[in-house]
Amino acid sequence: MLEVPEGTRFVPAEQTRAFLESVGNAHDVSIMGMIIPQNFYMDPDWMVVIRWNDLGFVDESRFKNLSDQQVIRSIKKTVTAQNKIRQKTGLPALYLKNLLLSPRCDTATHSAEYATDWTIEGLDREGVLFSRYFMGRSGIISFNFVGITRPLDAIYPIINPISQRFSYLTGHNYTDFDPAHDRRASFPHEIVFPSWQKTAGCMLVVAVLSWLKRRRNKKSL
């Protein structure tokens, strides 16, 4: 269950997938929709893509063993392979610049988050991806902030009102897990942060946001 904060609007899954695919992203059935500011078409600055990964139960203790080096290696390995495909299709290459926020877990809310910033080939603006995950009984829902690079202190006021309005339905919470009957997730480091496999696709949106903003600014001159 999700309440949409004032000043934003929810874009349904089908429309979100169509938009992301139109800018070079692969079809992604995990996308549940996105939240954008009400003035998005006047000032396209950010979006929060929502994904549901039906992976089984993920024990939050797995986060304790993750290091920054593991995160960086995993992301770079994935993006290097994706860049080869992207370049063959004429799409810009993407490069991890920094790990802005090391993976951290909140055991009170059974959530985790991390953030990275990126450079995009041929674009003079950098992008940021901030992902927050909520572990449930049978999978993970993630809120993925994508936008033009800004400090973390400027991202929290956007993503907090969105993610804090989310809650699992009764019987689907992390604490409802039944080890005798429920499925557990496997491949811990890939499962813990499923958006690793989607990062390059998300960051293409930054290029589109930058282009839309430039076009809007030119029209207003």
Global confidence as pTM: 0.86
- 33 part of a folded domain: yes
- Domain containing 73 equals 8-37+44-220
- Per-residue pLDDT tens over the stretch 191-212: 445 454 555 556 556 666 665 5
**What 3-state class would DSSP assign to 218?**
helix
- 3 part of a folded domain: no
C-alpha distances (whole Å) from 89 to each of 83, 118, 134, 186, 205 are 10, 20, 34, 33, 17
- 65 part of a folded domain: yes
Q: Which residues in the chain land under pLDDT 50?
A: 188-192, 194, 196, 221
- 199 part of a folded domain: yes
- 120 part of a folded domain: yes
Helix axes 199-220 and 68-88, enclosed angle (nearest 10): 70
Angstrom distance (rounded) from CA 122 to CA 130: 22
Look up tokens 């370049």; give the residue. 87
Cβ burial, residue 51 (10 Å; 0-12/13-18/19+):
buried
DSSP states of 122-168: T-SS-EEEEEEEEEBSS-EEEEEEEEE---HHHHHHHHHHHHTTB-P
Q: Which DSSP state fits 93?
A: P
| The total number of structural domains that make up the chain | 1
Look at residue 191 in the predicted model and tell me its pLDDT.
42
Look at residue 1 in the predicted model and tell me its pLDDT.
65
